[in-house]
Amino acid sequence: MRFLDAEFVQGFIRMADDGWKQGWHERNGGNLSYRVKEEEVKSVKENFGQGEWKPIGTNVPDLAGEYFLVTGSGKYFRNVIQKPEDSVGMIELDDQGRNYRIVWGLTGGGKPTSELPSHLMNHEVKKLSTDGRYRVIYHAHTTNVIALTFVLPLKDEVFTRELWEMATECPVVFPAGIGVVPWMVPGGREIAVATSKLMEKYDVAIWAHHGMFAAGEDFDLTFGLMHTVEKSAEILVKMLSMQPAKMQTITPEDFRNLAKDFHVDLPERFLYEK
């Protein structure tokens, strides 16, 4: 099978293009990665080359030998749909999870996203905590979420509660809540470690003054999660611009009733009285 004809590759390209169309990926902002299934690897392996092994910048032993489809460092999401072989690459990890090599794409000397350590450390956390179900990690520069990190306390409880209150679907879509990482230099091990700790509890982490990091089972669920959080943030930004004090809202007891009807578990620490 031609590499670009594979369904998982087409899904990856579509998600990148959807993010661009939302306005979340100015210039070379944001990155996307997908942990490829074994049968998917086999279906396109005839297209592979063998690049030079290079250090990941972290150690992910539980991902040893796995393959990932990733966006490239310095590449623009707007170009993924037009020049996927230049903007996207398939990488293979070695048998210790310390090094990677490019087996397809990123032509002309391209490299995987500079935030590869964050992606792989979070893939490892999600693989272990979900019995391998989670395969997508997505980072985007979501405008309204970023704006809120300048005016709300950088606390999990505050961001979760405020965003839950903006749209009834939110506690159903992300019932575990949202984690918040204070500002850190992107692309390094420090922010990767901080994010992976939050991903042990949540599927979404907000990077203060930078964007959002989301994890999910497939492209639709992960994009839908990011989209839901950002839309809720947009509603909150609009509400605060009209009137900082809410005239009415969803109460803690309302959330408990919602959880009962939708069969989700909402942690009580988010249902505090204001």
Residue 31: beta bridge partners?
Answer: 139
Neighbours of 150 (CB within 10 A): 9
Q: Bridge-partner residues for 207, per DSSP?
A: 181, 211
Element (H, E) at 252: helix 252-262
> Residue 46: is it exposed, middle or buried by C-beta count within 10 angstroms (0-12/13-18/19+)?
exposed
Give every CB contact of residue 198 below 8 A, 6+ residues apart in sequence.
Answer: 156, 179, 180, 181, 205
Q: What is the largest CA-CA distance in the chain?
A: 61
The question of whether 115 is a catalytic residue gets the answer yes
Residues forming a β-bridge with 55:
99
Burial of 182 (0-12, 13-18, 19+ CB in 10 A): exposed
Nearest to 214 by CA among 145, 116, 137: 137
Q: From 84, 98, 268, select the one nearest 176 (Cα to Cα).
A: 268
Query: Which of 92, 115, 165, 234 is flagged as catalytic?
Result: 115
Catalytic residues: 115
